[in-house]
């Protein structure tokens, strides 16, 4: 599959075949893509811990939450779950990463002067910023770039995947051995699709003009119909959901995979776990 086609067909695949394992080399390609993404200050705070159900310990499997607020079945079906997390320790050693940029010829022209400037001005500035670096959102945004890279590679490799928020994750974080001050960003289910790749068609989107503007926020960016036609021919814009057969497919999948017919009601335990997490009850994370 061409990467541009993967971008066009990139939509969440929620229904995965639990019986079909995912080749490790394909997971590695996803991680390699995430590693190559750009990151402010060369910090590279994105981390991933891969849970391969076929080889994971029972302790790890038992720590996987029953689900997110929308669709516990996804974590139950996925043969692979990637836990994406942010390592704040990487920000603390950002000075070293900046000096690496100078050595690589990616920052500054004169090496000696550039190293001196970093030590005397820029690194102290970032050090003084301290916790404000955690609240600006830039680090999370760049982590998101890496996750997006990995997601596109997954589709290029013929895999289905979906990103999920995970409100109740303290037990999982502990069992995986993640640093206490790390931030769990999301989990990503990965596998081979049990549903058709079209997943019922292109999900609803807001109008282009409501999302993008030119020069001022109240001036909609002009949308050229010829560009839209070009993207449709390249399958970067596809038929709007639902496709005619979609609801029959959903009924079939619900029966074949033992999924509750109401989205999000797979297990009462999902809500219970979320409530316990919010209450921060000792010994029940």
pLDDT of residue 154: 97
* Among the four given CATH numbers 2.40.50.140, 3.40.109.10, 3.30.750.24, 3.40.50.10540, the one describing domain 3-202+238-279: 3.40.109.10
**In angstroms, rounded to a whole number, what is the distance separating the alpha carbons of residues 16 and 36?**
27
CA-CA distances (angstroms) from residue 244 to 15, 57, 69, 199, 223? 18, 43, 28, 12, 29
Half-sphere exposure at residue 208, Cβ-oriented, CA atoms within 13 angstroms:
9
**pLDDT: is 76 or 270 the higher one?**
76
pLDDT surpasses 50 at 98: yes
**In angstroms, rounded to a whole number, what is the distance separating the alpha carbons of residues 214 and 126?**
33
pLDDT of residue 8: 46
Burial track 57-81 (b if 16+ CB lie within 10 A, e otherwise): eeebeebbbbbbeebbbbbbbbbbb
pLDDT surpasses 50 at 1: no
Per residue in 109-138, pLDDT tens? 999 999 999 999 988 988 887 777 778 899
pLDDT of residue 169: 86
pLDDT of residue 277: 66
Phi/psi region, residue 261 (left: phi>0; alpha: psi -120 to 50; beta: rest), is alpha
Where exactly are the structural domains of the chain?
A: 3-202+238-279
């Amino acid at each position: 599959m061409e990467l541009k086609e993967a971008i066009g067909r990139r939509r969440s695949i929620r229904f995965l075949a639990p019986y079909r394992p995912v080749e490790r080399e394909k997971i590695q390609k996803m991680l390699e893509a995430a590693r190559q993404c750009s990151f402010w200050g060369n910090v590279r705070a994105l981390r991933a811990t891969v849970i391969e159900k076929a080889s994971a310990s029972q302790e790890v499997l038992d720590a996987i939450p029953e689900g997110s607020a929308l669709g516990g079945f996804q974590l139950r079906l996925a043969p692979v779950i990637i836990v994406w997390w942010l390592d704040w320790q990487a920000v603390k050693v950002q000075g070293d990463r900046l000096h690496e940029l100078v050595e690589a010829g990616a920052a500054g022209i004169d090496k000696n002067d550039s190293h001196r400037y970093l030590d005397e001005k820029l690194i102290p500035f970032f050090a003084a910023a301290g916790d404000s670096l955690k609240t600006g959102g830039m680090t999370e945004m760049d982590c998101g770039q890496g996750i997006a890279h990995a997601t596109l590679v997954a589709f290029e490799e013929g895999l289905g995947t979906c990103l999920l928020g995970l409100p109740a994750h303290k037990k999982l974080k502990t069992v995986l051995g993640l640093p206490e001050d790390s931030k769990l960003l999301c989990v990503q289910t990965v596998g081979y699709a049990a549903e058709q790749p079209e997943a019922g068609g292109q999900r609803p989107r807001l109008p282009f003009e409501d999302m993008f503007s030119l020069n001022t926020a109240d001036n909609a960016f002009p949308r050229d119909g010829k560009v839209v036609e070009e993207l449709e021919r390249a399958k970067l814009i596809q038929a709007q959901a639902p496709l005619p057969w979609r609801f029959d497919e959903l009924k079939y999948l619900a029966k074949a995979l033992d999924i509750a017919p109401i989205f999000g009601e797979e297990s009462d335990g999902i809500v219970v776990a979320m409530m316990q997490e919010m209450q921060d009850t000792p010994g029940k994370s």
